Structure 1
Amino acid sequence: MTATASFERGDLPGALLAVVLVNLVGAAPAALGGPDSAWFQGLTKPAIYPPSWAFGVVWTLLFTLMGVALYLVWRAEASRERRVALGLFVAQMAFNVAWTPVFFQAQNLALALAVIGALLALLVPTIAAFRRVDRRAGYLLVPYLLWVTFAAVLNYRFLALN
């Protein structure tokens, strides 16, 4: 059953904690290295590659939306639907976090594409499960789905060009 309990002032600390947690977990792999490496700089970039500053802005916004969505599901009444939604969230987040080291540290474009494909495969049921618990939480993940779809295309183009 979809809950739509109002979001009140008392929810702010929990929501803020969820936003910070998701941002920290999501950003942690970037500390290992990323697009500044000589290897990445030497790759042929696809025409659709956005300016590098866009990634930090977009991911911060997406992780923030994900944190709010996670909080909405977390605070819902305990149920099988909530457990499934939270389990799917953790699983998709594991693939999200795994992509950066596979792409940048392992320098394995094909495996990175497989990781992002698995992320997409988990993200669709995660959104459906979140929506079953709280309709707003499901909608908050839609921009994430769109960006990950774009990122998968981008990953594929890197693989094709390099």
Structure 2
Amino acid sequence: MRIISERSRPSAPARWPVYAATAAAVTATAVVGGKAVDADSDWYRSLAKPPWQPPSWAFGAVWTPLYASIAWAGGRALLKAHGHERRALTAGLGVNLGLNAAWNWMFFRCHSPAAGVAGTLLLDLSNADLIRRTARTDRTAATALLPYAAWCAFATALNAEIARRNPGR
């Protein structure tokens, strides 16, 4: 005899594809965004940067666990969401990941700190929306997204300071 709560919990085979999908989406985001980054370019090296900018290696060290937490939180929340709520959460996650990858192209490939500021502000708004949507479904998953939102807010401040120090670039 099954307990009612067991019926509402997806079985392992039903859960695996959802986590695989969120991991694939986050990996695609990292790859697409990463293709635009050239921190060794003459343009990037010539930019005036604040003394509080982290060293280059720190970005990879921070983004790796953040991307893992996005994939986990997204999968967990999607498994608990149903119907319209699940579709909206899927769309919100997709928009967020698109904005995440787009920032690299706006800043590095367009050689535009100002465009980067616009992109990261949109990402910050998307993060707030994603956390709000996720919290409706699963507070633990929403909490797991907070370091991502905090890092993006830091990136917004850093990007804005670089834009301020490099007007017209």
Shorter-chain TM-score range: 0.7 to 0.9
Q: Measure the CA separation in 1 of the matches of 2:63 and 2:20.
A: 17
Asked if structure 1 preserves the Cα contact closer than 8 Å seen for 2:33 and 2:100, the reply is no
Q: Measure the CA separation in 2 of the matches of 1:38 and 1:7.
A: 52
Aligned to 1:66: 70
Larger radius of gyration: 2
CA distance 1:24–1:139, shift in 2 (3 Å): same
Asked if structure 2 preserves the Cα contact closer than 8 Å seen for 1:34 and 1:100, the reply is no
Aligned to 2:89: 85
Aligned to 2:106: 102
Aligned to 1:157: 161
Deviation at 1:95, TM superposition (A): 1.1
- Percent of matched pairs sharing the same residue: 28
Whether 2:151 is the aligned partner of 1:147: answer: yes
Q: Measure the CA separation in 1 of the matches of 2:146 and 2:75.
A: 16
The one-letter code matched in structure 2 to 1:126 is L
Q: Measure the CA separation in 1 of the matches of 2:96 and 2:17.
A: 25
Aligned to 1:138: 142
Q: 2:132 aligns with which of 116, 124, 128?
A: 128
Give the total of aligned pairs: 159
Once the two structures are overlaid, the 10-residue window that deviates more, 111-120 or 22-31, is: 22-31
Once the two structures are overlaid, the 10-residue window that deviates more, 70-79 or 7-16, is: 7-16
CA distance 1:90–1:31, shift in 2 (3 Å): same
For structure 2, list consecutive stretches of 5 or more residues without a partner in the other structure. Answer: 1-7
- 1:47-103 per-residue CA deviation (whole Å, 9 max, x = no partner) reads 110011010111111110000011112222422222222211111211111100110
Once the two structures are overlaid, the 10-residue window that deviates more, 140-149 or 18-27, is: 18-27
- 1:6-52 per-residue CA deviation (whole Å, 9 max, x = no partner) reads 99698467535533441332232212332121110111111110011
Whether 2:34 is the aligned partner of 1:30: answer: yes
Asked if structure 2 preserves the Cα contact closer than 8 Å seen for 1:23 and 1:60, the reply is no
Whether 2:121 is the aligned partner of 1:117: answer: yes
Asked if structure 2 preserves the Cα contact closer than 8 Å seen for 1:120 and 1:145, the reply is yes
Q: Measure the CA separation in 2 of the matches of 1:49 and 1:6.
A: 44
Q: Measure the CA separation in 2 of the matches of 1:99 and 1:43.
A: 17
Q: Measure the CA separation in 2 of the matches of 1:143 and 1:28.
A: 22
